[in-house]
Structures are given as C-alpha cells and as structure tokens.
C-alpha cells in the first residue's frame, strides 16, 4: 500500500480546509469566509483500498508578523513541510500573489514533489487563460503536476487524490484504517464553537478571539460541555453576547447541533465570554491556550 503525509499549504482563505474535508469525506477542519480560520495543524486521514493519505491542513502562510499569534501561525505552517512526502500548494485564481514569492522559496528548500492545485476553477470562463497560466507556472517551478479543481464542488478531486496516492511511498498503514484525525473530541468541539462564532458574527468578529474547553463531562445519556470564549477587550464582549444574550444563544444552538452530530449523543453546552488582555501577543498565553508548533 502507499502511505504517507501530504501538506496542504497556501495563503489564507484559499480553501485548504474545504479541500481536506472533501478529500477525507468528513468535516474535520472548520471553514468560514474569514481569513486565517485555520489556526492549528490538523490531520485528516483518508484510508482507501490502495493506501493511506494523511493530509495536514495548515494555517495560511502570510506576511503579517506583527503579533505573536501571527508568528505562531506562520511557524505552524512552516514546520508542516518537515517530514511530509508530498506538498499540495493551493492557490485561488489564475495568478500568483506577492507573498507567493516567499512560498516558492520554501518549496525550493523543501525539495519535495509539489502539486499545484488551482482552486475555484469553475468560476473561470476562458479556458485558454487556464492553459496559459499552467504553462507559465511550470516555467516558474518544476511542479510534478498542476490540477484545476473546485474544492467546494468536488471538481477533479478524484484525479487529484489518485495523483497524490501515486506519489506516496510504499509501506504499512500509519494509523488505524477507521481513524480520521489525530485530534481529540475536546479540540474538535472548541473548533466547532469558534466556527459558529465566525459564521454568525462575520466582519464584526474580533480577530483576537479563541475558545477553550474548561470542562467536558461524558455521562451515560448526555455530554456536558463548558467552554470559555476568550477575547482581549471588554468592549468586544457585547458584540459576542448580543442584545439580551441573543447572539450567544444562537452560536450555542448552532454549535450544539454540530457537536451532537460529531459525538452521536445529546449535548448540554454552556458558553461564557471572558477577557484575557493581550493574549494574542503573549507567547506564554498562546501556549496555555493550545497554540503550539
């Protein structure tokens, strides 16, 4: 069998999490329209009759290094290139952006087979532009192959998966065949809550927001989950709670439905909003909240 690790890299908000969820046919990584939704390295394990591809969803590579959180996200993305067998570089549209020059350098240093996946190809009308871009891209870097895809609509994903499997080394299964991720349920629950916050609040959402599971009780007929939504400023609290607590109730309801679907059991979910000043620019606070390489 062919088994190995596949790094999914690219700038923020190009569709890496959506791609991984479709490749493993299960929602593991949260998604939203807000850039830098993914903040951790997350494994998605897809075992088939021919092998096991272990996809590594990563935070978007970006130039902003102002805060400790930004630097941590970049470190997480960079370290993902260590120890993988194949790199899939996802871009959005028929053009390279300014920061992509930095990614080109990282790929040269990695010395691994790289597949370029051009996302949202369903939006491109002029196919001649597609072929012209592919030719120009191949001159810039010796890509093993280039795929036009739509991560959301599943266009050419079977062909992409087949290409990836063919590049993985032969060997025994690395993870059990029925395992789909390396992350515990507590982590996935916190991510679901953060996703619902991002989707409900949109542009109003403070970037300096994270979720921590304070207590997780698994009882016979129900799981009781107590979570803290950490923010940096008191003024952000009213945005998340909403008028008479309406926004927080909606977020809690949305999250509870997805959590029950994940764990297959009834859930009692309690959310609190608390202030931890400057957490996103404090290395020690980041580590305590689970942000590690």
Q: What is the CATH number of domain 2-167?
A: 3.40.50.300
pTM of the model: 0.86
- Encode pLDDT of 96-123 as tens digits: 988 888 889 889 988 999 999 999 998 8
- For residue 202, list its beta bridge partners: none
Tokens matching residue 270:
């309690």
How far apart CA 88 and CA 66 sit, in angstroms, is 27
Q: What are the tens digits of pLDDT across the range 217-257?
A: 999 899 999 999 999 889 889 989 999 999 999 999 999 99
pLDDT of amino acid 65: 62
**What does each C-alpha distance from 82 to 7, 104, 161 come to in angstroms?**
9, 16, 21
Tens digits of residue pLDDT in 147-183: 999 999 999 999 999 999 999 999 999 999 999 998 8
The CATH code for residues 185-288 is: 3.30.300.20
Sequence ranges of the domains in the chain: 2-167, 185-288
């Amino acid at each position: 069998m062919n088994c190995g690790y596949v790094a999914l890299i690219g700038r923020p908000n190009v569709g890496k999490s959506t791609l991984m969820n479709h490749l493993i046919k299960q929602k593991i990584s949260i998604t939203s329209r807000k850039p830098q939704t993914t903040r951790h390295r997350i494994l998605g394990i897809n075992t088939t009759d021919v092998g096991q591809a272990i996809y590594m969803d990563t935070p978007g590579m970006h130039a902003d290094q102002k805060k400790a959180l930004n630097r941590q996200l970049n470190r997480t993305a960079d370290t993902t290139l260590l120890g993988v067998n194949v790199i899939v570089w996802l871009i959005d549209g028929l053009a390279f952006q300014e920061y992509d020059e930095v990614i080109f350098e990282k790929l040269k240093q990695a010395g691994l087979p790289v597949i370029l996946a051009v996302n949202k190809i369903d939006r491109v009308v002029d196919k001649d532009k597609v072929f012209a871009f592919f030719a120009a891209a191949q001159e810039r870097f010796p890509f093993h192959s280039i795929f036009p895809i739509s991560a959301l609509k599943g266009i050419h994903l079977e062909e992409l998966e087949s290409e990836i499997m063919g590049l993985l080394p032969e060997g025994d299964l690395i993870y059990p065949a029925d395992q789909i991720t390396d992350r515990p349920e507590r982590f996935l629950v916190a991510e679901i809550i953060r996703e619902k916050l991002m989707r409900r609040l949109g542009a109003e959402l403070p970037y300096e927001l994270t979720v921590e599971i304070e207590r997780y009780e698994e009882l016979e007929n129900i799981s009781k989950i107590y979570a803290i939504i950490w923010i940096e400023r008191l003024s952000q609290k009213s945005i998340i709670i909403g008028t008479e607590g309406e926004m927080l109730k909606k977020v809690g309801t949305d999250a509870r439905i997805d959590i029950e679907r994940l764990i297959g059991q009834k859930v009692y979910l309690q959310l609190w909003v608390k202030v931890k000043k400057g957490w996103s620019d404090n290395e020690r606070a980041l580590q305590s909240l689970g942000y590690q390489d």
